[in-house]
Structure 1
Amino acid sequence: MTASHAPVLFIHGLWLHATSWDAWVERFAAAGYEASAPGWPGDHDTVGASREHADDIADHGIDDVVEHYARVIRDLPVRPILVGHSFGGMIAQRLLGEDLAVAAVAIDAAQIKGVLPLPLSALKATLPVFKNPANRHRAVSLTAEQFRFAFGSAIPEEESDALFERWAIPAPGKPLFEAAAANFNPHSAAKVDTANAGRGPLLLIAGGQDNTVPEVVTRATLKQYRHSDATTDFLDFPDRAHSLTIDHGWGDVADASLAWLGEQGL
């Protein structure tokens, strides 16, 4: 790690294994960053083991995941840059708002408290969890068809199915239930300190074809930061869906993130 480069932590979201960041870790390492992608609590080292031991993933909520990554950060010599996708993007925003990171890139980030739009496509994408209230305490898997709608809606079916086979793992239902109730809970785990004027810069990235986190959600998230003077930027990829970090166009998103970090002097 060079003196001018902070370490980078990649944070995955629901239904993807941490190794789905492998190509990003290599790209950032080639750019001079010390990069790593620790999994969520309960994740196993491989996709296969995570599928086999789904109960270990179950019942971890947003606070559990935030504290898990906070412990990882405390073991680093300096505060890191965070790059998060989906719920990983929400986690990154919370950690940044708590001054545990020097900057964050939140890609198709899950809704934080205060964001009101709830598009029908987002409801359909998360229906596998919400159709049964008991899923709050379970790990829930997607089928290949459900994965295509939630993640691979802007890529060929064959590519979506291949990504599903390679990276998809069960996900805890609890974070989705917590996020859904966020605007009715003053102490919600999905609450982010969006007014923190002293935090590091934040880049919000949206996929214009995303069914799980539609662009309107990311734009509404951007508005939540209007009371802070800290840098908050927005970038959209109009033809991309929720798979934008792992599909054939992932390099465009990674390079845009690297370029933005360079603009921030990071």
Structure 2
Amino acid sequence: MSMLSGWVESPGYPRGYPPDTNGKQIAIQCGEMSFEDLDSTVNPSLLSSMEGCLSLSFRSDYSNTKRHTGFRGFYTLQDFDECEDDPDNGCTQFCHNYIGGYLCSCRLGYHLDTDRHTCTVSCTEDLSGSLRGVISSPPRPGPYAEHAHCSYTLSVEDNLELLLRFTGEFDVEQGPDGQCVDTLMVETSSGTRGPFCGRVPPSSPLRTGSHRARILFNSDGQGSNNGFTIHYKTTSDTVTVTCDLGSVLNTGDKEYESTCKRTGEWSPVHHC
């Protein structure tokens, strides 16, 4: 049956049901109730389990001395409100009920993750080629997003080294036992730094010792911490070349900076 309400009745009602009605299925609604449960209730109100089926069947034998009228019953479908009545509905922000189900939605700036229940933010970014910039917990300023799984990739020429400097407030959730609840980590080819959390930032500048790094930030679904801000830049094998006393460059300057390139050559090279 696909109707939301209606009537079900025994065969031949009200003229009387025939003998030897062997388990004729009268109606299927979306659970089962045993004969004992049914027999112990007068005018029973039968409720099916959620997403189940209520099967109603009728059986008669040859021993009836008189013709019984049978029965007639009214059925209706009642929607189960998962948003109000199911604390485990899984929606992390908003829940919207409709007949037969529910759906989750998110606040502005969030989107539903692949499980269609968890609200998260888009915070994965490839910053390869960028020599300097700023990375912060989303959104910034203000408390960072819950259920965030952020990954920021930095990659520059291999003769350069990435330096990270933490500025401003550092506030990443830490448990009473000192363990990190939310985590900030820095991955390089030589290993992982962190996890970092609490209110004391890592010492700055943090030298990565590499031209590639990945900054990972993960948060749970609770808390109101303000997060972090990282300024990144590059450094290299740079020296200052000074002319001998009495000599100058063609520009008239007495010194200049030269950097060792990945080819092993210094550039620029000027003569005094």
Q: TM-score, normalised by structure 2?
A: 0.24
| Higher Rg | 2
Q: Which has the higher strand share?
A: 2
Q: TM-score, normalised by structure 1?
A: 0.24
